[in-house]
């Protein structure tokens, strides 16, 4: 079955078209052009502000002119993540979609249903001639994923509607009032690099196969975090062996639960078997822990080429212990609303860049 054959067909038609338009945060020029063409093709009045937000205005159907003007809102940018080994240029390539039973997903990348499906629903309403409605303003905002800068840039008078419905929720058939606040923290480690010892063997440890997910909508599910799983292995090395760390990396965006992580490590030849055994033991434990929610998780270790330099031992130890202690997941549930996550943390990314190591975490809470 093709995506355009799914029902309701008009929604999936527009969602498919949106997947064909590259739209990373802060690079929304192509999706903005698509929306402007849609408005012109359908004879819909629209306006665009200086940052790229667009509002399209559709008059009420006959007999509904006295209804309160309603604003429908979604954001046009998407989280751009891909699996290691997936060849995809988010600036230029369309998303490749796959229908798997009752699910639609992307081939090796994020799908962009956040918030492409909201945009598609708005376009379906605007294009339909069989839906009775009052006056509508359809607002499409830019750059939601990196700080909602599009929404913050809205100026007085750009909208005239009295009620706004945001179409960026994960739960079908439910209305939400309010949301959590968020904050990001980046910890910086500044290693002293030294020449890599010549008497070590080098191994690449990696975590892959995780589903990943949104750190807001899915933090409570118990999905695996590649950075935390990799850290568990490095912490086991720290407790059991003398070893060196040359490279480390995992995750990408602050609001995505990391799916993949890796580290380049060096051990004495006599300790290679022990290093591999520690990973195999952890792999078995993790597969058992996550079998209900992340059944495709895997930890691998393979021979690797020797690096030119390694991180100094003091920084390596501090980094591993800090990552091991860093919380991930739900930190507190609401005492007032059933099943509401009140406070959470996402150990989002570990990046080695220009000689420093950056560890990004994302906090959310509905309390101050």
Q: Tell me the pLDDT band of 78, cut-offs 50, 70 and 90.
A: very high
Catalytic sites, residue numbers: 77, 144
Q: Is the confidence at residue 110, as pLDDT, over 80?
A: yes
Interior CA angle at 367 toward 365 and 368, to 5°?
A: 100
Structurally, what CATH architecture does the domain formed by 3-177 represent? Answer: 3-Layer(aba) Sandwich (3.40)
Please give the C-alpha separations between residue 245 and each of 80, 187, 317, in angstroms, as whole numbers.
28, 18, 10
Three-class DSSP category at 342: strand
Structure confidence by residue, pLDDT tens digits, 227-278: 999 999 999 999 999 999 999 999 988 889 999 999 999 999 999 999 999 9
Taking alpha carbons only, the member of 287, 298, 292 closest to residue 262 is 298
Q: How far is C-alpha 236 from the chain's CA centre?
A: 29
**Class of 183-365 per CATH?**
alpha beta
**Interatomic CA distance for residues 116 and 277, integer angstroms:** 44
Mean pLDDT to the nearest integer, 22-43: 97
One DSSP character per residue, 48-93 reads E-TTS-EEEEEPPPTT-TTSPPEEEEEE--B---B-TT----TTTP
Residue that wins the pLDDT comparison between 47 and 368: 47
Structure confidence by residue, pLDDT tens digits, 192-226: 999 999 999 999 999 999 999 889 889 999 999 99
Structure confidence by residue, pLDDT tens digits, 162-194: 999 999 987 778 888 777 888 999 999 999 999
Q: With both helix axes pointing from N to C terminus, report the angle between 9-19 and 29-41 in degrees, rounded to the nearest 10.
A: 140
Structure confidence by residue, pLDDT tens digits, 331-346: 999 999 898 899 999 9
**Interatomic CA distance for residues 230 and 205, integer angstroms:** 8
Give pLDDT, residue 117: 96
Domain definitions of the chain by residue range:
3-177, 183-365
Structure confidence by residue, pLDDT tens digits, 283-330: 999 999 999 999 999 999 999 999 999 999 999 999 999 999 999 999
């Amino acid at each position: 079955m093709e995506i355009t054959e799914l029902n309701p067909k008009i929604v999936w038609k527009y969602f498919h078209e949106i997947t064909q338009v590259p739209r990373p945060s802060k690079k929304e020029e192509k999706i903005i052009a698509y929306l402007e063409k849609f408005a012109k093709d359908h004879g819909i009045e629209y306006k665009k502000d200086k940052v790229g937000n667009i509002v399209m205005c559709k008059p009420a159907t006959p007999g509904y002119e006295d209804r309160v003007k309603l604003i429908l809102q979604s954001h046009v940018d998407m989280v751009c993540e891909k699996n290691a080994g997936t060849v995809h240029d988010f600036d230029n390539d369309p998303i490749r979609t796959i229908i798997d039973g009752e699910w639609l997903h992307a081939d090796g990348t994020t799908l962009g249903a956040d918030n492409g499906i909201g945009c598609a629903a708005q376009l379906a309403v605007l294009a339909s001639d069989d839906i009775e409605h009052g006056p509508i303003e359809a607002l499409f905002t830019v750059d939601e994923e990196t700080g909602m800068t599009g929404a913050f840039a809205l100026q007085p008078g750009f909208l005239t509607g009295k009620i706004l419905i945001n179409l960026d929720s994960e739960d079908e058939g439910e209305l939400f009032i309010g949301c959590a606040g968020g904050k990001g923290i980046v910890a910086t480690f500044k290693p002293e690099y030294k020449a890599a010892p010549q008497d070590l063997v080098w191994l690449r440890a990696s975590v892959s196969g995780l589903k990943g997910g949104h750190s807001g909508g899915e933090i409570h599910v118990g999905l695996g975090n590649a950075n935390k799983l990799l850290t568990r292995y490095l912490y086991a090395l720290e407790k059991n062996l003398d070893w060196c760390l040359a490279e480390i990396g995992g995750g990408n965006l602050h609001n995505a639960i990391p799916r993949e992580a890796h580290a380049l490590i060096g051990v004495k030849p006599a300790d290679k078997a022990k290093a591999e055994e520690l990973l195999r033991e952890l792999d078995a434990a993790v597969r058992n822990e996550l079998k209900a929610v992340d059944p495709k998780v895997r930890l691998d270790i393979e021979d690797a080429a020797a690096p030119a330099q390694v991180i100094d031992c003091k920084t390596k130890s501090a980094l591993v212990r800090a990552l091991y202690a860093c919380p991930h997941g739900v930190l507190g549930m609401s005492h007032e609303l059933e099943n509401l996550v009140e406070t959470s943390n996402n150990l989002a990314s570990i990046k080695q860049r220009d000689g420093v190591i950056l560890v990004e975490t994302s906090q959310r809470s509905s309390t101050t």
